[in-house]
Structure 1
């Protein structure tokens, strides 16, 4: 029973993700851009997961897995029922319809389009018959404990995402309600002002009183207009993402306010596009006189080195956050023996920039895929190079799904893709301008010093790892430099800076992490 629940949850998670990928692919092919289509913020669409997992569960319980007719029946029922339930609950709780099929033929109360649900059910029946058995055989190779950990993590994130999205929708409705109230006040103020202007006055005293009244009404109208505009412009990333992912959304209670909010959102997008154009100035600007060029202008070694250096620092911060919030550990995670640096992040940032910085005008999906491939390939090469040179690895993804020799996996490829997309589109242009604001002469001197330090740090780190292997083989120190390494960069120090590094044995197995090896000795 526990194994069936395990499989059910895996089918749900994988189908949710694959459904999201299919939606993204469809949008990318039709609209030529990357867009998160789901109601939730993460890369998953739970309704697709249920449309696959529920028929499988029913067929398994009834032992009808081999019957295609039964599979088709349950997939059709699931396709209709899940979509209807989602849409009905959303409308009843929030007055929102993400899609309204009322104007289409053969719909069920506007919640479900019969042709669309039928085609989807037929497609899912083929998935359940042909693909699910393959997934079942692949899941046999996944360690059960590791699988449960991954499921708990993904389902926990999904549940948190559902809560956050629900709060976002409720806040949007509350904002629409306040907009409706403020809109009524604006109309009342305008009507009162119009009556005061057209009503006229008799006598000087009445004229003065009428003038004062008009001024007060004008101030009241101005205040009401300002409050309405301020509330209309009140937004955040979650609200904008939800609105962007739901272009056909309707609100039965606050339709007028929804339209006004959508217009304001479109205006904000236009302003954002103008800001992106300013960010792209670095790519397109030219200087007739080379002397007028700023520090590290364009794409050159200096610019790439600063990107590498900043990426190393940012990587250290990300690794520490990952260790604390995900692994619930407080440990030092660096790539060099001196300083808070993670060269794999710096190298990844530099390589992605060098390969993709001219593609900033391309579709988001192209940059996303290219960044994922480049980042995963770079991560693989770094792990392979470390093993070839020092006989060690600093990370091992062997127990994770869709990994390649334990050196990289699909999840981190997606992370590389996301980071690369954000980097190329938004962060790099702004950072490039910041680097170019460094004064030329101090910048050149600082670059030389930092390059020298990073080269020294890399050399001493490689030497320390090489000497650690020699110590493990019982080779004594024969030079003052080796004695220096044994004294200042001994196994205890290396266990502090490389706590998760593992020795790769001749048979391919890996030893305990360095922190555990040193602790046991």
Structure 2
């Protein structure tokens, strides 16, 4: 079942309320008093709404595959919970929940017990609750429903903004202290840099100065570009992964089918967005576990890669109305979107990436000059945003031409001239337009 935006908004609000009720009930049982467990002041827990919407968008096709529905819900919700936890801690400098005392947890953001509960919730929502909610929502007059749901959404937005401002206000004094400390560090760095400059000039001007004096000068560790698992490191890995992924897929198709075909996701350049995002996400998630055993990374990569590929397949079909790959002819496939063999490939790729490729690429990236590296990354980000936008519009127009739903506009005419069917089919040889 494909839900409209109006229905998804209702699902988001309803499940946010159900989640809040559940949190309050658990708190009442364990602490014997009422506690508003939500981030906002109102009776809503937005993370439950986000999980429910993700289930409604990506999992309906698995309705008759209970195990995969459970597994998909477990992985999808765990990813949302993990990313939400990290993001909120980054913004508010506070950990809103911590599963560190639970067994099989990942940095305290997710744990096996809650993930299993999420998987069960996915099964219940897709099999039972969502059809019931769909029937109830359809009973509400459309105009009244629109007014109610948008009013609630606006109030939630205001509540969220107010809660965020209040929490940041609590951190104000601490933040001022942090800023003062950072300014002191910057001042010290400038002082050391100036001292080093003068000392170097004095050594050149007066070579007779004893070497011991030069050795005593304070050493300042130079700042490296994209050090650690930083934003620019992930951006760089995205572009490298997108390029290498396209090349590897092209070679693989040539070796297996004897046909040289484009594997690019965009209209400009050999870039596979699926592989680029996979490299960035995999690195961000597994960075702290890069020293784990090959078996650990293989299992993690197999499961995560399969879930990621499935979500990408659903997303591209919903957004662009086009299926870019179809594994229906493979054994052990799931709706033609993923298959067991390629899931194993994801696991092998994860091991090779984290153990062999990433350390080398990371070293090369960090050797870039700071200024040049930032300029290059920012230019590539702008280029890829434009590239993705143009690709999306070109695919949309291509789908219109294939389905006969053509609207004559200046923009449409531009894409008809510059991206005709022949060019689009050359770039996306396996694309199938869905109706």
TM-score, scaled to structure 2: 0.48
TM-score, scaled to structure 1: 0.40
